[in-house]
Amino acid sequence: MNGKWDVAVLPKCPDPADGDGRAVISNSVSYATSAEGENHDIAMDFLAFLGSEEGQRIQGESGVAIPAYNGLEDTWVQSFADQGYEVNVGNLIEQFDYSVKYVNNASRRVWEPEVEQTVLDIYAGTLTVDEGIQQMQDEVTQAIADQ
């Protein structure tokens, strides 16, 4: 697949909240451990290491994830080039300034399947984009209210 796909910066388009702008969805990698594990101290030390500059650099250089440690994003981008992949993953980094955190709350299990179906309905042409966006907003708002 090398050279047969790429990553593009999303075009600027109307923003329903502010009238004009752009946004992309961002998520993150999280690490956790049980509060009562047999080796809790060791696990906590390991979690602290994963969040350190050194741990984040290893994750970036290995291509596992874009480091959350500011200034190490390019280690992840370089990992693709080091492996010989011809893909502009740096375009993902370029979009950080206007990325919006992906919602992850207790109601997600309720609204996520509904939102996914709404997206499919938009793609199928059974809903307009504006109708679908409103429907998705209503689904998320209702699921949060029902918590």
- Strand, coil or helix: what is 53? helix
DSSP sequence for 16-41: TTTSSB--EEE--------TT-TTHH
Residue that the structure tokens 């602290």 belong to: 48
Question: For the chain, what's the residue count?
Answer: 147
Q: 105-124, pLDDT tens digit by residue?
A: 888 899 999 999 999 999 89
Among 16, 13, 11, CA closest to 95: 11
| pTM exceeds 0.75, yes or no | no
Q: 16-67, pLDDT tens digit by residue?
A: 456 566 777 777 778 888 888 899 999 999 999 999 999 999 999 999 999 9
